[in-house]
Amino acid sequence: MIDVRDLVKRWGDKEAVSHVSFTVGRGEIVGFLGPNGAGKSTTLRMITGYLRPSAGEVFLDGHSVSQDSKAVRAMIGYLPENNPLYEDLRVREYLEFRAALKGIPRSARAKRIQAVLEACEVTEVADRIVGTCSKGYRQRVGLSDALLANPPLLILDEPTVGLDPGQVVHTRHLIKQLAADHTVILSTHILPEVEAICSRTLILHQGRLLFDGTVADLHRGLSGAGHVLCGVKAAREAAQACIASVPGVSQIAFLEEGGGVARFRLTAPGGTEVPEALFRACAQANLPLVELTTEKVSLEEAFLSITTRESAQEVLA
């Protein structure tokens, strides 16, 4: 559906987006993740045709964004960052204007507007002036606009920013529903959002694409940097000597000793084999292993780890 090829955006000699390439298939929900200023919005703006890339190309279903901009724009429902709206129009007037711009035939407009108002639950403010609506409603008005022409692709730039927790949950739920028959690209710097909604994640940092994979990949790729907690019913020295013999353990940190049990926290880049090897080693040495926990790496850690490293390959290696 989307084919981004070697996209570059320069401002002066600073590269805001640097040689980014990826593809998105029909029906995917892709989370565009990165700290503020990573180049997420700039990339999305180049996909929607608002900004021209300095180099590279974007294709949507084979149409080039730069050559065939109008056709491409008709395929996209776009909610820009900060959700800009005309403050002085009424919600319905705004949607009528947008519907006319998007070429929805006059006869179909009222029906279509009613449909998006209902889908986004903004019917109750349809006749209010946009400027007087709460932030949550405004966000949903923006979303209604994106849905208006029923485009195959939705691009949502930070759709939940500034909403209260209830509204955030509601918006995420709505996006998830939309994903049933739309391809969605969603940008955010909130990790749980990606975990809650997206099937795939792209991590952008300083204009470069550092990670492209599923949320599960993200966890798995980083379990390499994971930890194992264990408690051995033995004296500290004996236990430590036994653990040190386990292959794949790079670091042993002693935590505490009490009730005859010594507890340690192991750094194990090896991943899943370590707990098993540890169990066998303890059994062989006849030291009862009374506690064994694998610490799951949180998405926050994964994200920080990726954005503070040079490349994702290192992480995934």
Partner 1 sequence: MRAVLAIAKKEILSFFFTPMAYIVVASFLVMNGFIFSVILAALSQPGSSSASPMAIFFGGTMFFWIYMILMAPVVTMRLGAEERKSGTLETLMTAPVSDVEVVAGKYLGALALYGAIWLPTLLYGWILSRFSPVDWGPVWTGYLGVVVVGMFFLAVGLFTSFASRNQVVAAIMAFGVLVLLITLSILSILATDPFWKGVLEYVDLWGAMQNFARGMVDSRQLVYCLSGTGLFLALAYQALQARRWA
What does DSSP say about strands 153-157 and 183-188: parallel, antiparallel, or unpaired?
Answer: parallel
Tell me whether residue 105 or residue 166 sits nearer to partner 1 (CB atom): 105
Please pick, from the candidates 31, 39, 49, 221, the single residue that binds partner 1 as defined by CB under 8 A.
Answer: 49
Contact (CB, 8 A) for 281 and 245: yes
Report how far residue 41's alpha carbon sits from residue 45's, in angstroms, rounded to the nearest whole number.
6
Tell me whether residue 40 or residue 98 sits nearer to partner 1 (CB atom): 98
Going residue by residue from 215 to 234, which x/- string records binding to partner 1, judged by CB under 8 A? --------------------
CA terminus-to-terminus distance, the chain? 29
Q: Is 70 in the site for partner 1 (CB under 8 A)?
A: yes
Q: Is 270 in the site for partner 1 (CB under 8 A)?
A: no
Tell me whether residue 145 or residue 193 sits nearer to partner 1 (CB atom): 145
The residues in 196-215 that bind partner 1, with binding defined as CB under 8 A, are none
Tell me whether residue 89 or residue 225 sits nearer to partner 1 (CB atom): 89
Q: Is 173 in the site for partner 1 (CB under 8 A)?
A: no
Segment contacting partner 1 by CB under 8 A, of 44-52, 193-201, 223-231, 279-287: 44-52
Q: Name which of 6, 143, 10, 15 is nearest 78 in CA terms.
A: 143
Q: Is 127 in the site for partner 1 (CB under 8 A)?
A: no
Tell me whether residue 122 or residue 312 sits nearer to partner 1 (CB atom): 122
Tell me whether residue 104 or residue 125 sits nearer to partner 1 (CB atom): 104
Q: How many residues bind partner 1 (CB under 8 A)?
A: 28
Segment contacting partner 1 by CB under 8 A, of 80-88, 217-225, 291-299, 309-317: 80-88
Return the HEC string of the chain.
CEEEEEEEEEECCEEEEEEEEEEECCCCEEEEECCCCCCHHHHHHHHHCCCCCCEEEEEECCEECCCCHHHHHHCEEEECCCCCCCCCCEHHHHHHHHHHHCCCCHHHHHHHHHHHHHHCCCHHHCCCEHHHCCHHHHHHHHHHHHHCCCCCEEEEECCCCCCCHHHHHHHHHHHHHHCCCCEEEEEECCHHHHHHHCCEEEEEECCEEEEEEEHHHHHHHHHCCCEEEEEECCCHHHHHHHHHCCCCCCEEEEEEEECCEEEEEEECCCCCHHHHHHHHHHHHCCCCEEEEEEECCCHHHHHHHHHHCCCHHHHHC
Please pick, from the candidates 23, 25, 52, 214, the single residue that binds partner 1 as defined by CB under 8 A.
Answer: 52
Segment contacting partner 1 by CB under 8 A, of 77-85, 212-220, 240-248, 303-311: 77-85
Please pick, from the candidates 48, 139, 171, 188, the single residue that binds partner 1 as defined by CB under 8 A.
Answer: 48
Q: How far is the CB of 57 from partner 1 (least distance, A)?
A: 15
Q: Is 63 in the site for partner 1 (CB under 8 A)?
A: no
Going residue by residue from 81 to 110, which x/- string records binding to partner 1, judged by CB under 8 A? -x-xxxxxx---x---xx-xxxx-------
Please pick, from the candidates 5, 63, 73, 227, the single residue that binds partner 1 as defined by CB under 8 A.
Answer: 73
Report how far residue 316's alpha carbon sits from residue 308's, in angstroms, rounded to the nearest whole number.
14
Place of tokens 């179909």: 108
Tell me whether residue 101 or residue 255 sits nearer to partner 1 (CB atom): 101
Tell me whether residue 99 or residue 204 sits nearer to partner 1 (CB atom): 99
For binding to partner 1 (CB under 8 A), which residues are involved?
Answer: 45, 48-52, 70-71, 73-74, 76, 78, 80, 82, 84-89, 93, 97-98, 100-103, 145
